[in-house]
Structure 1
Amino acid sequence: MATRDPVDIDTPAQDLLGATAVAERMAIARIRRILADLHMPCRCQDEIDRTMEALVAWESRRIRHHLLKDIRKSAGRLRAGIAFLDDLADLPDGEFDAQTCADHAETLTVLADSARLCAQALTRLAALDQGDDTPST
């Protein structure tokens, strides 16, 4: 069985900086507090601090990776939708029957959802880059 890159795990990006990520960060903070209460020798405490910082940095890279993946996926859908909008604008009046309108409405809903997801991922990425751990919904 092949080993996987630790950043490439199957966490839905919609949850990143959401409930799971906040819980994970709270767990890291709790572990840090518990270890600090042990009053270890300075050298040990320094090593623990470095390890905890590396863990936080890894978590941020993992979240960033998934957010960028979702941003690119949504942007691809939106680019494809631009061609659809050109086709929609060029339809003759006689081709706007009920089924055609329903189909185009459904496609536009999918594009709107892609735009919303892309905007949310960009907002979360901005919050991550600013060091904000608060989820934005």
Structure 2
Amino acid sequence: MADKPSVLFVCVHNAGRSQMAAAWLTHLAEGRVEVRSAGSDPGAEVNPAAVEAMAEAGIDISQETPKILTADAVRESDICVTMGCGDTCPVFPGKRYLDWALEDPAGQGIEAVRPIRDRIRNLVEDLLSEITGAEQ
């Protein structure tokens, strides 16, 4: 990994899970990690329940927009974390791939999204500790 590791979070619509994960890592890493997110079939907007759930945690993702997954985004990342996009993520030698089994928040209300948000935070904290060697 480079001096500043890079992580790409990928889910189907880049509207919920990957947006929350990217926001958590950006917030918790405080500039120590380059963070990207993308989707294999991007939605039109970030899931409003995800926006609300993250706002409750003090993180604003209301201005984020879903982005298409590109081979370049994977190539430029040290770690690619998939969240339910199956085999649509391109595979390159030398990259590390993780798959986080997380419920899709699409179409769910805030009550259902909160535990997903909290699970993502726990996974991101573990990943950040591993790649930076620092306790969170």
Which bin holds the TM-score, normalised by the shorter protein? under 0.3
* TM-score, with structure 1 as normaliser: 0.26
Greater helix proportion: 1
Greater strand proportion: 2
Question: Which fold has the larger relative contact order, with Cα–Cα distance below 8 Å and residues 6 or more apart in sequence?
Answer: 1
* TM-score, with structure 2 as normaliser: 0.27
